[in-house]
Amino acid sequence: MARYPRPHRSQPAVPDTERVTGLPAVAALFANDPARVERLFYDDRIKPQVGPFCSLLAAHRKPYRLVKGDELAKIAGTQLHGGIVAIARLKPVPAFDLDEARLWAAARQPLLLLDGVSNPHNLGAIARTMAFFGMERLVVSDHPGQALPSDAALRVAEGGLEWLTVYRAPRFPTMLKQLGQHYRVVGTALGQGRPLEAMLAEGGQPLAVVLGNEEHGLPPATLAACEELATIAGSGRVQSLNVAATAAIVIHALAARKG
């Protein structure tokens, strides 16, 4: 095992890094962008599985270390670390580019957008579902409450955020109106609109579906910028679905019609 300076037991990730926890998420990080990894910590239960990660870090003179569970929890900032923590440079969140979106639309790639989804666990769950179904791009708004990739989102995503590019879109309602040149922009609203499957069956422009805040839905300006509204019909026994559950249904429908 490589020997490097020992960090303080409670040392958190520095501001320009993020903590990636759990073997699926760490494995996805090493598979997609290993150069971002700066340090690796793990406990006995993961030791048999980290050999390739440690060899790569040793080749680049980056530290890795076996630690006990209590120390690993302090490094991770949570008990829910799955036995392994990678300290990695932040993955960039690029600005949304309408010219790029035109190319995505020409390739018949559906788009999912979030406006005000504030819970990082929901963001992580959505990313995990998107990666499962092979969607590669997620656009988030400049809403002040909108969650961005974070330690918590990465943990719940189980590696999903490593397979996505997350874009940040300023002036979101204005952007949606411009996006309508290339996509059919569809908002989601409780008890309003038509079934998404019916819209997909109609063909035409690929869909860009916008999901809103867990409690309040989409802001009025965002709703006004959408060409149409979609809803998911249910039994009526409960009022609504969690936004991550709604996203899973939407993503499955979009992926089934992809291309």
pLDDT tens digits for 81-128?
999 999 999 999 999 999 999 999 999 999 999 999 999 999 999 999
Q: How confident is the model at residue 257 (pLDDT cuts 50, 70, 90)?
A: confident
* Fold held by 17-89: 60s Ribosomal Protein L30; Chain: A; (3.30.1330)
Q: Which two tokens stand for residue 163?
A: 């397979």
Residue range 208-231, pLDDT digits in tens: 999 999 888 899 999 999 999 998
Nearest alpha carbon to residue 151 among 181, 123, 113, 180: 123
Radius of gyration of the chain (CA): 20
Q: What average pLDDT does this structure show over 170-194?
A: 92
- Spatial neighbors of 48 by CB under 8 A, at least 6 apart, are none
Look up the pTM and report it.
Answer: 0.89
Q: Domain 98-256 classified CATH 3.40.1130.10?
A: no
Over 60: is that where the pLDDT of 232 sits? yes
Do domains 17-89 and 98-256 share one topology? The answer is no
Give the residue from 180, 212, 196, 213 showing the smallest Cα distance to 251.
Answer: 196
What digits encode the pLDDT tens for the residues 50-71? 999 999 999 999 999 999 989 9
Element (H, E) at 122: helix 120-132
**Segments making up each domain of the chain, as ranges:** 17-89, 98-256
Query: How many C-beta neighbours within 10 Å does residue 171 have?
Result: 11
